[in-house]
Structure 1
Amino acid sequence: MQDWLDRHANITALRLAIADLNGQARGKRLPRRFSDKVFSGGTRLPFSTLNVDLLGQDIDDSPLVFDSGDADGLLVPTERGFVPMPWLDTPTAILPMGMFNTDNTAFDGDPRHVLRRVLERYKQQHLTPVSAIEMEFYLIDASGPEPQIPCVPGTTYRHAVADTLSISALDDFDGFLTDLYAACDAMDIPADAAISESGIGQFEINLLHCDDALRTADNAWLFKIAAKGVARRHGFIASFMAKPYPDSAGSGMHSHFSVLDATGKNIFDDGSATGSETLRHALAGCLSAMADSSLIFAPFDNSFERLVPGAHAPTSLCWAYDNRTTALRIPAGPPNARRIEHRVAGADANPYLMLAAILGAALNGIEDQIPPPPATIGNAYDRTAPQIAQTLEQAITDFERSNHIKRLFPAMMIDNFTRTKHQERRILTDLDSQMRRAIYLKAL
């Protein structure tokens, strides 16, 4: 990592950053001349940093705060290394960090470590998940008293209706998108195709697949940081809020994954058009844990405004071939590309916890050889099937009582995440809708 700094002599400021349970970047700004601290183990943060609420406040009843003296953990750079932040005026690099106990063991409250634990289970079986994520977000004009659709740059024109898959809509925001792609290139984020989505000012950018799910989650986390930073340079807010406008489409964070064996073969592919038995076991594992994992996929009250029938987001626990009304979709394509698209998570989800929940549940299904229900035919909104949690309160209850969740996540993470969501529900639901929306737009 020192070599990277040596090659980038223009960098004068560093951000030492770690993802909290909500996926928010927290940490320190450090002048470059003090970078030796990073490599000598001299960087610390309170363990409680990873367990604050969305407003950045301590969790009132958290054992990580006063009961433990608000003790520090060790910050250690992840294998990602330094990543430039080219939208800032000051030449800056962010260094993603992991939280460790003082005995150098992984801190179970770090969401990146939670995902790493799941991947260790795959490694023990000589399996490797290959994953990709689709990032949906809105550009928003927040210059007035109410958030609104942004003007097309250089004009006073605001789109009145959504123009899905429109080249013109992409061209209208070419400056922003060009700078975002440039930032992704500089940050080694594999940003692929962009489309205009079904909301006004809404876009989707696909991040290419990777055979390291930690890197996939890193890419999604860093992409959010980049999109927000580049948007600020252009006078917008980039928001990954699940449902910014009540009458417009929500923003999701769909994930695609397959699994390779030790020879590099996709174990979801048996040469047929329908996929292997292992594919069906993985589907069943995802479905069995899906309701109890709703809090991971929909972590805020606003998240559930997206999960309604007919809104291009799933509501029931079902799967199908090439059907976007279901929670799990098997995309069309050649057999060797057979994969699962998990369509439940909103753009507001923590990508580390999201992938841990999805990949962990799939592996449980593979290990247990669970059979899935029959594939859904036609419009899933018209079918009777078990439902995803419909409120934040229900999601919290299902999460904290679930045996599925206990199998997927360490006890500390379950406890910390549950306490965080209880506090956010108490605080945020007491605010009026305008204030709550403003918080979500800015933070998410």
Structure 2
Amino acid sequence: MSELSTTATRAPLRDSGARTVRLEATNHEGCFLGKNVSPKKFAAGKDAGFAFADLLFGLDLGNAPAFGSAYPAWRGHLDDVYLRPDMSTMVEWKPGLDSVIGDYWLKDGTPVPICPRNLVRKMAERLAGHGFTATVAVEIEATVFEESIHEARARGYRDLTPLGGSAGTAYHLAKSKDWTDYMNAVADRLDEVGIEWEAWSDEDAAGQIELNLAPGDPVKVGDAWARTRQIMREVAFERGHSVTFMAKPTAGYGQASHLNLSLQHDGDNAFYAEDGPSATMLHAIGGLLATMEGNTSIVLPQITSYRRLVDLSGPPVTISWGISNKTAAVRAVCGHPKYSRLEYRLPGADANLYLALAGVLAGVIAGIERKIDPPEQVTDMAWCLPPGLGIERIPDTISKAAAALDADPILRELLGDEFVDCWIASRKWEWMQFHTAGGDPFAELSEWESVRYFELP
């Protein structure tokens, strides 16, 4: 993987009058982390990078060290890794505060193997080597509650009041003004920092929102996703509300992060063909299905992620694809030179989008490089399928998914042994914490999960 371009890292610090520069990046869990530095400190360190203890990749969501991995050279003794800012991401977050996103690098100038943003770039560069440019988009789902974050904490994040009323279903415009005021404020903030959004609407569960970000380069869409969630949190805090990206914040509907993907080759949509999926699209589908069991661990990262996988409730439950079939895990949208694309419907709202994109792009790469043909599409409902059809179900627990990733040679080759091994160890640790620290596998949603996942990632 190449280093960041010198134009990205050595651009002069703009004269914005900021008193503080905030450094931003995610860890493997998807938490938005960073430091606030003075403009003088930023100008002095923006080329070499800023030191962060590598423990940021070794702590779980309860702030405990996660044991069980091999502790490779980049993480064994709390050494420093370096966040190198990508100057193309610098924005004025608010008066007096600039923010900039970066990646984690080692002292020798090589990327930290588990750095989410670097993994996305690595996959995009591999696709570029085949002449393809990936365009992706994400649908962000979140649930907003009337109570402030302080009240939510006091209640253990339980029995909260959905903002906008108790009606669910989808697309309702008969919402109370506080709900639309919240989303209008979010949209205004996105406009202010230059994040392009396309639509927002009422989603299935009470208080639930879907926000669609504009398509773009995978790394840039990952950046927009991370900042959008931060904005949604900040606006909720300012208005005395709380918001969560848990995969299932109540015993009702879950929340997703559907990914849309197309490939361009010489300026044309490589997924388009007049008579249906192109050969490139079919190979991409083949690769996505071949790696879906292993990728499940990445796109459904937490204990609660698997509580979504219920037939007839929205999420896919089978390793399947179909043209215009939203019950399948991969929906193919065909027949349009511009809009032909794949929708990968498995990721939960709690997924780290950088890692989810890296895993999905790895599946597409595998399908194209190995010319993997997909199975027959599912033309009926992909839920409640009887056994014997040859259609496997998606792994339905965090441990089953981790085992599937461990056994996937394709994802190991493309994402790297160090990432895969460390990720699997962290998922095994999460399973152990759940079963030893108060989790209830028989509850629709245990108190342990609410406390652990409501605010993070």
**TM-score under structure 1 length normalisation:** 0.91
Instruction: Select 2:267's aligned residue among 257, 264, 275.
Output: 264
Structure 2 distance, partners of 1:53, 1:287, is 30
Contiguous gaps of at least 5 residues in structure 2:
1-8, 440-445
Structure 1 distance, partners of 2:136, 2:221, is 7
Q: For residue 206 of structure 1, what is the aligned residue in structure 2?
A: 212
Range with bigger deviation, 93-102 or 43-52? 43-52
Range with bigger deviation, 409-418 or 427-436? 427-436
Structure 2 distance, partners of 1:293, 1:123, is 22
Alignment coverage as a number of residue pairs: 431
Instruction: Select 2:318's aligned residue among 316, 319, 323.
Output: 316
Verify: 1:12 aligned to 2:15, yes or no. no
Q: For residue 355 of structure 2, what is the aligned residue in structure 1?
A: 353
Q: For residue 105 of structure 1, what is the aligned residue in structure 2?
A: 110
Q: For residue 443 of structure 2, what is the aligned residue in structure 1?
A: none
User: Is the Cα contact below 8 Å between 1:114 and 1:410 reproduced in 2?
Assistant: no
Q: For residue 231 of structure 2, what is the aligned residue in structure 1?
A: 226
Q: For residue 256 of structure 2, what is the aligned residue in structure 1?
A: 252
Instruction: Select 2:158's aligned residue among 134, 137, 147.
Output: 147
Instruction: Select 2:379's aligned residue among 338, 356, 377.
Output: 377
User: Is the Cα contact below 8 Å between 1:65 and 1:71 reproduced in 2?
Assistant: no
Per the TM alignment, residue 312 of structure 1 is displaced from its structure 2 partner at its CA by 0.5
CA RMSD, 1 decimal: 2.2
User: Is the Cα contact below 8 Å between 1:16 and 1:27 reproduced in 2?
Assistant: yes
The code of the aligned residue for 1:160 comes to: S
Verify: 1:388 aligned to 2:394, yes or no. yes
Structure 2 distance, partners of 1:231, 1:348, is 18
* Deviation string, structure 1 residues 302-360 (Cα, Å, up to 9, x no partner): 00001111110000011111121110112366243210000000010011110111111
Q: For residue 442 of structure 1, what is the aligned residue in structure 2?
A: 455
Range with bigger deviation, 414-423 or 337-346? 414-423
* 1:423-442 alignment, distance < 5 Å: 423-429=429-435, 430-432=437-439, 433-442=446-455
Q: Matched residue of 1:131: which SS?
A: strand
1:57/1:333 Cα in 2 relative to 1: closer, same or farther (>3 Å)? farther
Range with bigger deviation, 100-109 or 421-430? 421-430
* Deviation string, structure 1 residues 4-32 (Cα, Å, up to 9, x no partner): 854421x2222212211011122322233
Instruction: Select 2:416's aligned residue among 410, 414, 430.
Output: 410
User: Is the Cα contact below 8 Å between 1:180 and 1:227 reproduced in 2?
Assistant: yes
Q: Matched residue of 1:169: which SS?
A: coil
Runs (4+) off by over 4 Å: 1-5, 64-67
1:61/1:383 Cα in 2 relative to 1: closer, same or farther (>3 Å)? closer
Structure 2 distance, partners of 1:281, 1:188, is 35
User: Is the Cα contact below 8 Å between 1:190 and 1:207 reproduced in 2?
Assistant: yes
Per the TM alignment, residue 230 of structure 1 is displaced from its structure 2 partner at its CA by 1.3
Instruction: Select 1:26's aligned residue among 30, 33, 36.
Output: 33
Q: Matched residue of 2:114: which SS?
A: coil
User: Is the Cα contact below 8 Å between 1:20 and 1:26 reproduced in 2?
Assistant: yes
Q: For residue 36 of structure 1, what is the aligned residue in structure 2?
A: 43
User: Is the Cα contact below 8 Å between 2:144 and 2:162 reproduced in 1?
Assistant: no
The code of the aligned residue for 2:280 comes to: T
User: Is the Cα contact below 8 Å between 2:248 and 2:254 reproduced in 1?
Assistant: yes
Per the TM alignment, residue 66 of structure 1 is displaced from its structure 2 partner at its CA by 11
Structure 1 distance, partners of 2:60, 2:303, is 14
The code of the aligned residue for 2:293 comes to: A
* Deviation string, structure 1 residues 164-217 (Cα, Å, up to 9, x no partner): 10122275412211221122112222111001000000000101111x211111
The code of the aligned residue for 1:254 comes to: H
Q: For residue 302 of structure 2, what is the aligned residue in structure 1?
A: 300
Range with bigger deviation, 413-422 or 121-130? 413-422
Instruction: Select 2:185's aligned residue among 175, 179, 193.
Output: 179
1:120/1:6 Cα in 2 relative to 1: closer, same or farther (>3 Å)? closer
User: Is the Cα contact below 8 Å between 1:51 and 1:417 reproduced in 2?
Assistant: no
Q: Matched residue of 2:214: which SS?
A: strand
Q: Matched residue of 1:73: which SS?
A: strand
1:174/1:410 Cα in 2 relative to 1: closer, same or farther (>3 Å)? same
Range with bigger deviation, 413-422 or 27-36? 27-36
1:159/1:149 Cα in 2 relative to 1: closer, same or farther (>3 Å)? farther
Contiguous gaps of at least 5 residues in structure 1:
153-157
User: Is the Cα contact below 8 Å between 2:274 and 2:335 reproduced in 1?
Assistant: no
* Deviation string, structure 1 residues 234-279 (Cα, Å, up to 9, x no partner): 1122211000111x21110001111011x2111111222x121211
1:426/1:264 Cα in 2 relative to 1: closer, same or farther (>3 Å)? same
1:389/1:200 Cα in 2 relative to 1: closer, same or farther (>3 Å)? same
